[in-house]
Amino acid sequence: MAYPIHRPRRLRRSAVLREMVRETTLAPSDFIYPLFVVEGRDIRRPIGSMPGISNLSVEHAVAEAKQAHALGVPAVLLFGIPHHKDAQGSQAYAREGIVQRAIREIKNALPDMLVIADVCLCEYTDHGHCGIIEGGHVANDATLPLLSRMAVTCAQAGADIIAPSDMLDGRVASIRSALDEVKLTEVPILSYAVKYASAFYGPFREAAQSTPQFGDRRTHQMDPGNVREALKETDLDLEEGADMIMVKPALSYLDVIHRVRERVDVPVVAYNVSAEYSMVKAAAQNGWIDGDRLMLEILTSIKRAGSDLIITYHALEAAKLLG
The number of helix segments (H) and strand segments (E) in the chain equals 11, 12
Q: Which residues of the chain have pLDDT under 70?
A: 1-2, 208-210, 212-217
**Feature table: binding site for Mg(2+):** 233
140-150 pLDDT, tens per residue? 999 999 999 99
* DSSP assignment of 194-236: EEB--GGGHHHHHHHT---SSS-STTTSBPTT-SHHHHHHHHH
Cα–Cα distance measured from residue 172 to residue 236, given in angstroms and rounded to the nearest whole number: 9
118-169 pLDDT, tens digit each: 999 999 998 878 888 988 889 999 999 999 999 999 999 999 999 999 989 9
40: left (phi over 0), alpha (psi -120 to 50) or beta: left
The answer as to whether 20 is a domain residue is no
Backbone angles phi, psi at 77, to 5 degrees: -115, 120
Enumerate the known binding-site residues for 5-aminolevulinate.
205, 217, 274, 313
Spatial CA neighbour of 78 closest among 95, 62, 94: 62
Which pLDDT score is estimated for 214? 65
Domain that holds residue 192: 25-322
Asked if the structure places residue 159 within a domain, the reply is yes
Report if residue 88 sits inside a domain: yes
Kindly report the pTM of this predicted structure: 0.94
Comparing CA positions, the residue from 211, 196, 306 lying closest to residue 257 is 306
In a domain, 29, yes or no: yes
The predicted pLDDT at position 284 comes to 98
Pairing type for strands 133-134 and 137-138 reads antiparallel
Count the domains in the chain: 1
With beta carbons less than 8 A apart as the criterion, state whether 78 and 35 touch. Answer: yes
3-state secondary structure of 98: helix
> Which residues form the catalytic set?
195, 248
Binding residues: 120, 122, 130, 205, 217, 233, 274, 313
Q: Which residues contact 96 (CB under 8 A, 6 or more apart)?
A: none
Nearest to residue 300, comparing CAs of 15, 31, 14? 31
The CATH number assigned to the domain holding 142 equals 3.20.20.70
